[in-house]
A and B are shown apart, each in its own frame.
Chain A
């Protein structure tokens, strides 16, 4: 691996950048690996990286139907945060934020985690009471949180509508100062490059067509590049988790929906933080390039079509104009959609699939990007040890039988 640094960049600049090596190889699949991970998105690549780094399991293949990082990792709105209510969620997502904070230097790849804070606004007295409940919960969970009044919100996000005819007047909000955004592609590329350097084979354009099941155990995958046997198989395929589970004739508590995102033309800086206004169902941040990155709620129709639908576009964007009317004339450059895997409690599923040898990392719904380091870290632990990590245990599939759902939306009204 060519190490990246300012010095190296300086030197390469002087010799036409001829010395940079491949960020990752394009290997042919071997017939067998100790572990095969389906899906070279953020979670799959991070899993491979931590398997190699934390557990010394380097004989690993990550198989990917398309190009690495091409699913939701490369389609999201790049928000990273851990403003959760339940201790179980806080432990999971704050592990992720803490790993993200060190990730650029750990991977030697600048993922541009920019901790400029995230505000969730509150628009009535009852919402302020819920916000207080949320801030208290976060602090008790050991996560940074500040309770903002109207003036403090205004100071941080002056673009918001503070006019008298604002449909949902802003009373205040919850700030997580350590939240922010990262460069989504860089997360995938950084993990890919680091995993590759540790010996992991990342095999792109390799679609899993079926599972190899022998004596009731999953021992590998049939792929478009041939059969690959594996000591253990982990699936991290987000919106397509049901498709993989279907190969094992199992129904998961997952419904796939399109989630849309939007980016505007680049503007000089106008917005420093991430802002989410729940009653409008819209959130926004400004990327380092200057584009406003806009997101909202799920489409209303279960879908595997990676494109958005007009009614939701209108809801999200109209909501944006209501919350920040000065953006009405800003032009939209592009919108797109990813397929997200939504569970009944909007919390992820980590752990055994029910088929011996096959493990799941899925159900992240609309919030998988922020969880990539933790998802990979914990999934690697599960694959390497066959056991849950304390942080992943509550997210086992078994919770749907015991009733121990972790439903953040129901607890706090905070959207995922």
Chain B
């Protein structure tokens, strides 16, 4: 047991012991531990295996920077893959297992892969596995790759809460600088939020002997209290994972293990970045041995978790910050052996953990080797927000340069590593009162990878990228920093290069003899730490994902056994009755043809166009001429896109001189409304045209069938229903149950049909009256499925089903306005393009099959020639209960010129024959329509 728990006061609760296992062995830790600290406290050094070579690895860092200790963790039946042991708070009963290792991290059967490392260097796979075929090798490689295994079970109640929030000043990072800045800002009267990603505030403060005459913990507590007392808010265990446009900061707030975190979408007028800096590892031979760790990590383990990482500790540091820290380790009982980088390169020795460190001819027996190559400010969020970076030669680091609007970096994140200077800077930033800068006392000697040196020197620990890999990339001219990254996979591991990127850049700079800043940096991309996908999901699930619209009469439909389904964004009755759906639909069709069908058509659009210019406007909007329509009359028409494509069809009624009502298809109400609004304001006088979408105010119930008039007669409405007084394509307004009732004689079935609209709250009353009246003559409710067949029998189209993105009105048999309409209308010029005038347009036709043949499959193609060429396709096809034979609609090249021709119908390799006919198969003379 080299690493062990000490008696030093720390941030763990010794009164709350927690039991857990790692790779099957039971251990004990305490409340406040992370998995990594608890394992170290138990003397466990090997906590994982690397991605490629399965090298044994222990924690290199103590927090988000660690690339090595990755575990699958199970608690209370919930398993999560790839949990970093250094950031996973320990909970009682946790079962952890190293990923990518079997049976354990300590003894991994794939450990032998390391023996072949000389052939598995950077990009080796680009140079081989080509013969005979990549597919031969890929399955094996896929199995070898990957880290954790996911359970394929869905976690119940794993649902992220998502909130929006805003503040004047957001301080990111709850270390010394962040606390001081937040306090100053809050006490200055600002609305402040401070976030810190650890469960306990203070950042690196806990490593210090004291802060401004306080013990660290007392100082942290007093700052936190002051922030809250001044109205500030503090969120711990909350990581700012990304800064997006317009200073929207994504915050992930973590709860207990296995629960989904909460997403805060935090809009901040001002952002103070106090994210601190990482201690850089040093590149030397066998620097990946368990027991090699950064100095800062070792001090964090001691300060926060009372874990001393070793007994006899070798230390290599190139900078002035190490001294204070070493004192702390010594005080805790460690024997410290200092190595001077100036004395030459070092080399770690050992098998599964470091046993010895050699430097030149000297060697020291150690159980732990701590290194510090200087501090790397955490500038990820700065870069997300578009801030620039400047290379600082003195600090050998990229520091925040030109600032994004409303953002400032302070403390170690800004390259200020001395406490007094950081506090002064923080208070100035928080309060807005400038302070004199205190000169930096931080000193360091550059200590970067040395190309050509011996041994395996690790740069990206998780991905097993070594200095030699960087040298190889340079040799092969993958010298751009992005090429280096992608070719070697450096920085692409789950830690996203927090420790490796700088070493990689420095290595490439050294190999090429270029100054480091010239090599540049790769792009910093969100998220700063991996976040669960659920974070973005939240409650927008199931029924709330594109929620359906609901009918006023849903309950009534349910009560009479409606089978509800999604049709055009609404939940509507598909048919009525349980059991054999097809039989019900067939019966509904026969009812509608022999008596009458009662249909809830409420989703049909009811968009009113009102105003003195309404008439001219609808003429412009419609393909057809509408201005000639008299009040009380209705016309069928198309709306086109400017490209001339049919966008929607439906009827438009004129209510009076200045008022029209557009009945667009159910699923197009939103897009038609937007279309009308856009054109109303662009090129028309918006003071003289108004568009009121009243679709939701009105429920629409249709009675369609030869006995429809009898049903209406039964309602005793105050109106003359005779065909002469109330002919097809007219509208009358009356009252029902003391409410206005609009009755339109329009038909989507080809039979006599009345479409009645009444305010939503009266719909049930009207429905019940219709059902009661209908019962007397054999009428019954019908659903959308029956209607789809009824309309197809008549040859009526459904936009998007019987038309496609190329269909123009003359393809549907409506060619007249294209030739004759005098005023401008949307899409007009496109109807005369070369293609619009072309010879091979797909046109709407019907298809008939030989007696006794089955219905054609919808989606079948119509084919000609050798090799077979598609000239169209079947868009709608049904067995027609009315006609007793199959019917179909199709789009076929030059279809209307080919009526009566026989054509091959091709479906999944099989060919049948059909005859091209007119689309209308039911009552082509229209006698029933006009009855």
Contact = CB atoms under 8 A, between A and B. Distances in A.
Interface of A: 4-6, 8-10, 13-14, 16-18, 20-26, 66-70, 74, 87, 104-105, 108-110, 112-115, 124, 126, 128-137, 139-140, 142, 147, 158-159, 163, 165-167, 183, 185-186, 189-190, 204, 264-270, 279-280, 286, 288-290, 305, 307, 309-310, 313-314, 317-322, 325-336, 344, 401-405, 407, 409-411
A139 B472 CA distance: 46
Contacts of B475: 17-18, 20-22
Nearest to B541: A322
Contacts of A124: 566
Contact of A321 (B245, B523, B534, B830): B534
Interface in B129-150: 129-131, 134-135, 138, 141-143, 145-150
13 contacts: A9-B128, A21-B476, A132-B857, A132-B860, A142-B867, A147-B908, A165-B542, A266-B146, A305-B245, A310-B248, A330-B533, A333-B527, A404-B835
A140 B82 contact: no
A321 B537 contact: yes
B907 interface: yes
B209 to A, nearest CB: 37
Contacts of B908: 132, 135-136, 139, 147
A67 B483 contact: yes
A5 B127 contact: yes
B125 A268 contact: no
A411 B806 contact: yes
A254 B833 CA distance: 20
Given A70-B482, A137-B861, A185-B486, A330 B128 contact: no
Contact of A326 (B152, B525, B835, B859): B152
Contact of A330 (B250, B468, B532, B909): B532
Contacts of A115: 135
Contact of A189 (B126, B496, B541): B126
Contacts of A130: 859
Contacts of B868: 140
Interface stretch (B153-161, B331-339, B431-439): B153-161
Across the A-B interface, give the 5 residue pairs with the lowest CB-CB distance, nearest first. Answer: A410-B805, A290-B146, A132-B859, A403-B833, A403-B835
Which has the most chain A C-beta neighbours within 10 Å: B145, B147, B384, B869?
Answer: B145
A266 B100 CA distance: 10
B921 interface: no
B545 A289 contact: no
A409 to B, nearest CB: 7
A86 B527 CA distance: 40
Nearest to A185: B486
A325 B142 contact: no
Contacts of A307: 244, 384, 525
B537 A20 contact: no
A74 B158 CA distance: 34
Interface in B448-468: 468
B679 to A, nearest CB: 19
Contact of A23 (B265, B478, B834): B478
A328 B873 CA distance: 40
A313 B833 CA distance: 39
Contacts of A320: 533
A134 B479 CA distance: 45
Contacts of A325: 154
A267 B805 contact: no
A265 B494 contact: yes
B671 to A, nearest CB: 14
B148 A268 contact: yes
Contacts of A405: 643, 806, 835
Contacts of A167: 541-543, 545-546
Interface string B845-880: 000000000000111110100011110010000000
A5 B870 CA distance: 45
A321 B533 contact: yes
Nearest to B495: A333
B151 interface: yes
A117 B152 CA distance: 21
A402 B861 contact: no
Nearest to A131: B859
Interface stretch (B20-28, B116-124, B173-181): B116-124
B63 interface: no
Given A124-B566, A321-B534, 11 more contacts: A4-B126, A5-B130, A9-B124, A74-B486, A112-B138, A132-B858, A136-B859, A136-B873, A314-B536, A318-B540, A329-B155
B536 A313 contact: yes
A219 B873 CA distance: 48
Nearest to A5: B128
B476 A327 contact: no
Contacts of B6: none
A19 to B, nearest CB: 9
Contacts of A69: 483
Contacts of A13: 118-119, 121
A92 B928 CA distance: 51
Contacts of B480: 66-67, 70, 204
A289 B525 contact: no
B801 interface: yes
B150 A330 contact: yes
A407 B805 contact: yes
A303 B143 CA distance: 39
B80 interface: yes
Contacts of A17: 121, 468, 472, 475
A10 B119 contact: yes
Contact of A22 (B476, B533, B830, B861): B476
A263 to B, nearest CB: 9
Contacts of A319: 545
Contact of B527 (A87, A329, A334): A334
B531 interface: yes
